[in-house]
């Protein structure tokens, strides 16, 4: 998130923890991190962020004590992504890399092509971990993707490339 830097400018380790919490969809409530309703230990978060658990504790306290951060982190929700398990559930996963993530209509163009071919979408998610310029669209469709659909998807406005998972 662009605004995180101003809150953690003097504390690069805390910024690393704050970004990790955001990227993993962890909410913060009264100095405690949660993934859904499951409390996450300071030690485990510290290990994942490469910092001491005390840095995690101070980061969580700073988030809880700062109204702007508390408002943001108290509303974060983790979410199931089917992207990497698509094959195991009989689906196909597409990763759409945009030419410009700020361009409107990319999702619309992709879904229009899939609709015209009678393909059912199980999940569509724009992955944005805070750097909007690196956002990508993940689309999971039921069953396989007919080869004739691929050029149409690649020709959609705003699509730089499509990666099949």
pLDDT in tens, 36-56: 999 999 999 999 999 999 999
| Model confidence at 67: pLDDT above 80 | yes
Q: What does the alpha-carbon distance between residue 152 and residue 34 come to, in Å, rounded to a whole number? A: 41
Set out the domains of the chain in order of their start, with CATH numbers.
Answer: 4-73 (no CATH), 83-164 (3.30.70.260)
Q: Would you state the pLDDT for residue 102?
A: 86
Q: What does the alpha-carbon distance between residue 71 and residue 100 come to, in Å, rounded to a whole number? A: 29
| Model confidence at 165: pLDDT above 80 | no
Residue ranges of alpha helices (H) inside the chain are 4-8, 12-23, 42-49, 53-65, 67-73, 106-116, 150-154
Give Rg (Cα) of the chain.
19
Give residue-wise pLDDT tens across range 1-22: 457 889 999 999 999 999 999 9
pTM of the model as a whole: 0.80
Q: Name the phi and psi angles at 39, rounded to 5.
A: -65, 140
Q: What does the alpha-carbon distance between residue 38 and residue 68 come to, in Å, rounded to a whole number? A: 24
**38-40 and 27-29 as β-strands: parallel, antiparallel, unpaired?**
unpaired
Higher pLDDT, 132 or 59: 59
């Amino acid at each position: 998130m662009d605004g995180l830097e101003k809150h953690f400018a003097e504390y690069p380790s805390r910024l690393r923890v704050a970004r990790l919490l955001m990227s993993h969809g962890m909410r913060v409530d009264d100095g405690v991190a949660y993934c859904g309703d499951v409390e996450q230990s300071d030690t485990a978060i510290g290990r994942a962020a490469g910092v001491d658990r005390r840095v995690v504790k101070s980061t969580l306290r700073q988030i809880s004590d700062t109204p702007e951060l508390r408002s943001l982190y108290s509303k974060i929700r983790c979410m199931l992504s089917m992207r990497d398990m698509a094959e195991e559930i009989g689906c196909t996963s597409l990763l759409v890399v945009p030419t410009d993530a700020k361009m409107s209509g990319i999702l619309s163009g992709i879904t229009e092509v899939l609709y015209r071919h009678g393909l059912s979408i199980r999940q569509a998610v724009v992955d944005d971990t805070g750097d909007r310029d690196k956002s990508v669209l993940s689309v999971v469709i039921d069953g396989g993707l007919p080869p004739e659909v691929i050029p149409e998807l690649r020709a959609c406005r705003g699509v730089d490339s499509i990666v099949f998972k």
